[in-house]
Amino acid sequence: MYENAQYIKNMVGNDAMIRVDISGVTSFVPLDPANTDYAAIMQLVAEGKLTIAEAA
Protein backbone atom coordinates (compact mmCIF):
# COMPACT_ATOMS: atom_id res chain seq x y z
CA MET A 1 0.00 0.00 0.00
CA TYR A 2 2.86 2.42 0.85
CA GLU A 3 5.68 2.64 -1.70
CA ASN A 4 8.44 5.00 -2.86
CA ALA A 5 8.67 6.95 0.40
CA GLN A 6 11.01 9.92 0.62
CA TYR A 7 11.44 12.72 3.14
CA ILE A 8 10.66 16.21 1.85
CA LYS A 9 12.19 19.35 3.33
CA ASN A 10 10.19 22.49 3.91
CA MET A 11 11.18 25.97 2.77
CA VAL A 12 13.57 26.41 5.68
CA GLY A 13 15.36 23.12 5.06
CA ASN A 14 13.83 20.83 7.69
CA ASP A 15 12.29 17.43 7.02
CA ALA A 16 8.57 18.20 7.10
CA MET A 17 6.74 15.60 5.04
CA ILE A 18 7.04 12.16 3.51
CA ARG A 19 6.17 11.91 -0.16
CA VAL A 20 4.80 8.40 -0.68
CA ASP A 21 2.62 6.50 -3.11
CA ILE A 22 -0.45 5.23 -1.23
CA SER A 23 -2.14 2.56 -3.31
CA GLY A 24 -0.58 4.22 -6.35
CA VAL A 25 -1.62 7.78 -5.42
CA THR A 26 1.25 10.19 -4.78
CA SER A 27 0.56 11.87 -1.43
CA PHE A 28 2.30 13.90 1.24
CA VAL A 29 2.20 12.64 4.81
CA PRO A 30 3.08 15.00 7.69
CA LEU A 31 5.49 13.85 10.39
CA ASP A 32 2.70 13.71 12.95
CA PRO A 33 2.10 10.55 15.03
CA ALA A 34 -1.62 11.42 15.11
CA ASN A 35 -1.73 11.02 11.33
CA THR A 36 -2.65 7.38 10.79
CA ASP A 37 -0.72 7.18 7.49
CA TYR A 38 2.42 8.34 9.30
CA ALA A 39 1.82 5.83 12.09
CA ALA A 40 1.36 3.04 9.55
CA ILE A 41 4.49 4.06 7.62
CA MET A 42 6.62 4.11 10.76
CA GLN A 43 5.23 0.69 11.72
CA LEU A 44 6.32 -0.66 8.32
CA VAL A 45 9.74 0.95 8.77
CA ALA A 46 10.08 -0.66 12.21
CA GLU A 47 9.18 -4.03 10.69
CA GLY A 48 11.76 -3.55 7.95
CA LYS A 49 9.10 -3.56 5.24
CA LEU A 50 9.60 0.03 4.03
CA THR A 51 12.52 2.40 3.74
CA ILE A 52 12.20 6.17 3.63
CA ALA A 53 14.76 7.79 1.36
CA GLU A 54 16.55 10.91 2.53
CA ALA A 55 15.40 14.24 1.14
CA ALA A 56 16.94 15.19 -2.19
Partner 1 sequence: MGNLTLNGATSGQITLAPTAVAGTNTLTLPAATGTVALTSSPTFSGTVTATTVTSPAATALTLQSAGTTAITVDTSQNATFAGTVNMSSSFLRNRIINGNMQVWQRGTSATGTYSSPTYATADRWVYYSAASMTTSQSTSVPTGFQYSLKVQRPAAATTTNNIYAFQVIESVNMADLAGQSVTLSFWAKAGANFSASGNTLYVNVNTGTVADQGSSTGLGGWTGVATPINTSATLTTTWTKYTYTGTIASNALEMDAVFYFTPTGTAGADDAVYITGVQLEQGSVATPFERPLYSKQLADCQRYFEMSYDQGTAIGSATSTGSSWAFSFGPAGFTSGGIQTYYKVSKRAAPTVTTYSIVTGASGKVYSSANAADYTTTINGSGLFGFGAYWTQASANSINASYHWTSSAEL
The DSSP letter of residue 34 is T
Q: Supply the minimum distance, in Å, between the C-beta of residue 32 and partner 1.
A: 4
Does residue 5 contact residue 20 with C-beta atoms inside 8 Å? yes
- 53 belongs to the binding site for partner 1 (CB under 8 A): no
Q: State the Cα–Cα distance between residues 42 and 35, nearest whole angstrom.
A: 11
Site string for partner 1, 30-49 (x = CB under 8 A): x-x-xxxx-xx---------
Residues lying near partner 1 in the complex (CB under 8 A) are found at 1, 8, 10-11, 16-17, 19, 22-23, 25-30, 32, 34-37, 39-40
